[in-house]
Structure 1
Amino acid sequence: MATSFALTGCSSGGGDSTDFVTVNGGEPQKPLVPTDVNENMGGRVVDRLWAGLKYYDAGGKATNEVAQSIDTTDRQHYKITLKDWKFTDGTAVTAKSFVDAWNYGALGTNGQLQNAAFSEIAGYDDVSADPPKAQTLSGLKVIDDHTFTIDLKEPSIDFELELGYAPFYPMPESFFKDTKGFGEHPIGNGPYKFSDWQHNVQIDVVPNPDYHGGRPAKNKGLRFVMYQSYDTAYADLQAGNLDALDIIPDSALATYKKDLGDRAIQHPIAYSQHIGIQPTVAHFGGAEGVLRRKAISMAINRDQIADNIFHGTRVACQDFTAFTLPGFRGGLPGSEALKFNPDEAKKLWAQANAISPWSGSFQIGYNADGGHQGWIEAVANSVKNTLGIDSVGVPYPTFKGIRDEITNKTIGKAFRYGWQGDYPSMFEFLTQLYLTGSGSNNTQYSSPEFDQLLTKAQAAATPEAAYDILAQAQTVLFKDMPDIPIFDYNVAAGRSDKVKKAEVSWSGLFDFENIEK
């Protein structure tokens, strides 16, 4: 993979690549299919290529995009009316384009990582079962080309907000003819169209002239450049060879505001960093695993690591979501497990040893191309010094490599992972990461009590009532400690002197459509 690049030549999709806005990226874990992409590097591209029923602006406000109207009187039964719209292959976006795509995503045998997004729709339990009891969601019905209806299992306070989220994008008929090949040359309906993908090097997208939604491209194209090192990316940013960088490396956090001046960016975002451990790892199943995860959590001096390494750009987690989201509450029952407490950590570790004496090393896998080495080593040292055990970070060369092992449940050690908000709701974090059977549930956590509280929160009459129930759901998480939340983020990002406007959105990604050279 190229670690630096020259802005020469033309992309295969037309348009002079010297006019592209260059931004940092990484090799996506999977082909670019919205229902199967649940990670940052693929997601940032997918969201440029597609338009959903709604879209989210830089502040997180949801506005209708392909939807002309979304009507409901009870938050359980919805009528969707569509605008006239086209895919980039010239075919029409119809009600069937949405319904067929959602049915594909929900069908358990298709193995889509975003399948849990459809869990509220009537018929999901039958479609997602193994083997499936039905092939399509009973809650979806096409009325005509511009109209379809959605019936949910229960009323939902969050469902309409979700409808700009990637799993709910429409798909053209060509996808169903070649689902494997499609993701290498995707056809969407968004502000950009796919141009070129050089694996492990870059992905190019160019403006879609037929897009007529609320986020048209204000640049001549985007090039997502894949770096092995954020230090190299930062050097390119300073040299003017990279236009926008959404993660300043640890080595530059003390100086980047001075280096970049008014081109430096910092503000709170909906992004949290966790350490996950799958239950098949020795000593981390059952009651012993709960004790060890709590002990490790209380052995980590988050505040010290945040100060020493991140210079105010990280904040110790207070819950299992992110501190910028509507309804966030600090100080939940059980949240003391996220505080540095060496005495309690040792006590819990001893209780776990009484079940089964500890042996081996506590290893934490991380992707070396993501700038994580410093904080992972600091976490490992904090665990080592507090608990008196061997603890080390284990680098994986690429993000895709570690994600494949996590997804395939073959990693066999602890691992770092982050979750960056796709739509501005605590429901998304809690559903995707902890709902039984979710394709994004990295730790294979399953709790009927937690699942039922999520459903109950969706059915709440008001946002405040929903937040009360989500607080109860998180109390269950603190009891079970399915993973170890570490940091919330204050984004540290920057733009080059060749860019006159580049804003970071509510989620921590750039407002890509509005970057102007």
Structure 2
Amino acid sequence: MNRRGFMKLMGSGAGLAAGSAIMGSTLVQNAMAAAPRRGGTIKLAWVDAVDTLDPHFTASLGSVKILNNIFNGLLKVAYDGKKVSFVPDLAETWEMPDDKTHVFTLRRGVKFHNGDPCDAAAVKWSLDRVKDPAVSSPHAWKFETLAGIDIVDESTIRMRFSKPYAFLPVALTGSTGRAGTIVSKRAVEQHGKAFGRNPVGTGPFKFAGWRENESITLERNPDYFEPGLPYLDGVKILLIKEPTAAVAAMMSGQVYGMSLSPFQFIPQLKANKNLKVYGEVEGNYSFVGMNNRRAPFDDPMMRKAVAAAIDRNTIVKQGYFGEAIPAYSCISPPMTGFYDKNIGNSGRGQRFDLKKAMEYRKQSKYQGEVNPVYIVAQGFTGSGGSGTRNSQLLLPMLEKIGIKPKIELLDRAVWTKRRNGGDFDMYDEAWIADLDPDETIYPEWHSGKPWNFVGYSNKEFDKLLSEAQDTLNQATRKKLYD
């Protein structure tokens, strides 16, 4: 496979999934005063699912948004309006003596919320925890090539890798990369598996409580290392699963903001003069996963047929009420060094073409009508509450090529178990926007990786992914992903 093989493979639908839309990020809050004021506790309506507050174990958007306020990484993300970069956070400086060695000098005097020092020993322990096979973190793949961590002195660590590793900056950006989020050793040892309900970090807010299905409470960290921050005394997150109830709370002034507004309510929210709606295309994307391990999607032609049969513009208009853009690949806008702004007009990637879809269907080994089991999470809000809606929109599209899925609406927990266990033919998914293609593509589609739920396996594709991961030159990496 040549260097253009990656996009060709993804674009053909020969892999695992058919993308439908890249979603917008919408924050709704009450209109603010001109200048920030100190003090007070803010109430937020949270419609996103929160699985755990242990950053080394979550992939949930609802959890990540909260973790950003409790924890820090060695690095953090900076965005100047044009491109993403990585700057020190818990680290004060970052140096590379060679292309396989990274040296971090830590901020002095930083403490965990329980008073323990966040020094070199603490950072090493936290990073080693992710890599430890006995821990079984789903983010362990991010440190596969980590040969070792040396404590140079109490405020300096040296990370040694077996080969160059381009993805490292993302992995170390706290809750964005999750693997590099620094957690308290004493708290983990004290709470064990319950650490996810008793998180201890170094961030601007301390965890103060979690009432099941009701609320999560954070309080101001008076010892936070950023001078003058945070402004608030606390944050109370109301866990409101039903989107209509969350919108009602927002409209009535019971809460100050919402984490994610279901897209159908945005016009109503915008019409309220007491509210401010902030939105932009952030890159979370939705797709249909197809099980490569069993019929009928063990045939690449069937997968290509599905990818070509999806009318992405209809999904955007009717599934996301215009608050999204078509997804032609899994490389989305936040991946500023890799995203092609002109992909919609380039002819590359996946796109709607019913004629081709029918041709692929005729070439498949499964002729006649097929009835794959399509699992959908009931009430899933990760895609703006549109998961169920999208599956209904897809049915007539797929019926045109002789595919009539049997939709099973499942409780989120049951759906997750079925997806993780490969007990499906098709499933509807929304994925968090990432900053680097490696964060999305490697764990989802490299053979045997933790989120490769569809069982896709291709040695040439694996080789391409590894080559892109091992290359530090961004221009070269972009050519590989192109």
Please list the CA deviations of residues 301-346 of structure 1 after superposition, one character each: whole Å capped at 9, or x if unmatched.
Answer: 1112212343321111121221342221254999766211122212
Is residue 379 of structure 1 aligned with residue 379 of structure 2?
Answer: no
Instruction: Report SS of the residue matched to 1:194.
Output: strand
Q: Percent of pairs identical after alignment?
A: 17
The 1-side partners of 2:477 and 2:468 are apart by: 5
Distance 1:242 1:63 in 2: 33
- 1:215–1:383: structure 2 CA closer, same or farther, 3 Å change rule? farther
Matched, 1:348 2:373: no
CA distance in 2, matches of 1:155, 1:214: 36
Q: Is the alpha carbon distance of 1:49 and 1:450 closer, same or farther for their aligned partners in structure 2, counting shifts above 3 Å?
A: same
2:107/2:155 contact within 8 Å kept: yes
* Deviations 1:28-72, CA, capped at 9 Å, x for gaps: 33x322211112122222222111111225765432111121111
1:157 maps to 166
Structure 2 unaligned runs (5+)? 1-38
Q: Which whole-Å CA distance do the structure 2 matches of 1:224 and 1:58 have between them?
A: 26
Letter in 1 for 2:292: P
Name the SS of the counterpart of 2:358 in structure 1: helix
Structure 1 residues 281 and 217: CA distance shift in structure 2, 3 A: farther
What is the match of residue 207 of structure 1?
A: 220
- Partner of 1:72, secondary structure, is strand
8 Å contact kept, 2:374–2:426: yes
Instruction: Give the alignment's TM-score, normalised by structure 1.
Output: 0.76
Q: Which runs of 5+ in 1 are unaligned?
A: 1-16, 123-138, 472-517
Residue from 104, 107, 121 that aligns with 2:129: 104
Matching residue of 2:14: none
Compare 189-198 and 144-153 and name the one that shifted more: 144-153
Matched residue of 1:387: which SS?
Answer: coil
8 Å Cα contact 1:299/1:345 also seen in 2: yes
2:405 to 391, 400, 412: 391
Q: Indicate conservation of the 8 Å contact 2:309/2:397, yes or no.
A: yes
Map of 1:34 onto structure 2: 55
* SS of structure 1 residue aligned to 2:371: coil
Matched residue type, 1:439: P
Mapped pair 1:69 → 2:93: yes
Q: Which residue, 438, 448, 465 being the options, matches 1:427? A: 438
1:368 correspondence with 2:390:
no
1:417 aligns to what? Answer: 429
Counterpart contact for 1:364–1:394, Cα < 8 Å: yes
Relative contact order, CA 8 A, sep 6+: which one is greater? Answer: 2
What do the CA deviations read for 1:431-479 (whole angstroms, capped 9, x no partner)?
23223333233323333322322332234353222100122xxxxxxxx
Q: Does 1:21 align with 2:30?
A: no
The counterpart of 2:257, out of the listed 244, 261, 286, is 244
Q: 2:156 aligns with which of 135, 140, 147?
A: 147
Letter in 1 for 2:277: A
Q: CA RMSD in A?
A: 2.8
Change (3 A) 1:103 1:274: same
How many angstroms apart in 1 are the aligned matches of 2:450 and 2:227? 31
* 2:332 counterpart of 1:322: yes
Q: Is the 8 A contact 1:275 1:416 kept in 2?
A: yes
Distance 2:120 2:347 in 1: 45
In structure 2, relative to structure 1, the CA distance for the partners of 1:253 and 1:183 (3 Å cut) is closer
The residue correspondences of 1:128-277 to structure 2 (distance < 5 A) are 139-164=148-173, 165-174=177-186, 175-213=188-226, 216-259=229-272, 263-277=276-290
Equivalent residues of 1:254, 1:311 under 8 A apart: no
Shift in alpha-carbon separation, 1:387–1:355, aligned structure 2, 3 A = closer
SS, match of residue 108 in structure 1: coil
1:79 to 2:103 alignment: yes
Structure with higher strand content: 2
CA–CA distance in 2 between the matches of 1:215 and 1:313?
A: 36
Shift of 1:273: 1.1
TM superposition shift of 1:426: 2.5
- Shift in CA distance, 152/25, structure 1 to aligned 2, threshold 3 Å: farther
State the distance in 2 between where 1:389 and 1:431 align: 29
Q: What secondary structure is seen at the aligned counterpart in 2 of 1:86?
A: coil
Preserved CA contact (<8 Å) 2:45 2:237: yes
TM-score of the aligned structures, taking structure 2 as reference length: 0.81
Partner of 1:311: 321
Given the superposition, is the C-alpha separation of residues 258 and 144 from structure 1 closer, same or farther in structure 2, using an over 3 Å criterion? same
Are the equivalent residues in 1 in contact too, given 2:296–2:366 (CA < 8 A)?
no
Separation (CA, whole Å) in 1 of partners of 2:98 and 2:126:
25
- Counterpart residue type for residue 249 of structure 2: D
Q: How many pairs align?
A: 430
SS of the residue corresponding to residue 168 of structure 1 reads coil
Query: Is the 1:55–1:65 Cα contact (8 Å) retained in structure 2?
Result: yes
What SS does structure 2 have at the residue aligned with 1:265? strand
Q: Matches of 1:261 and 1:389 in 2, distance apart? A: 47
Give 1:192 shift: 1.1
Q: Cα 1:64–1:215, aligned 2, differ >3 Å: closer, same or farther?
A: farther
Pick closer, same or farther for the CA change 1:333–1:316 going to 2, 3 Å: closer
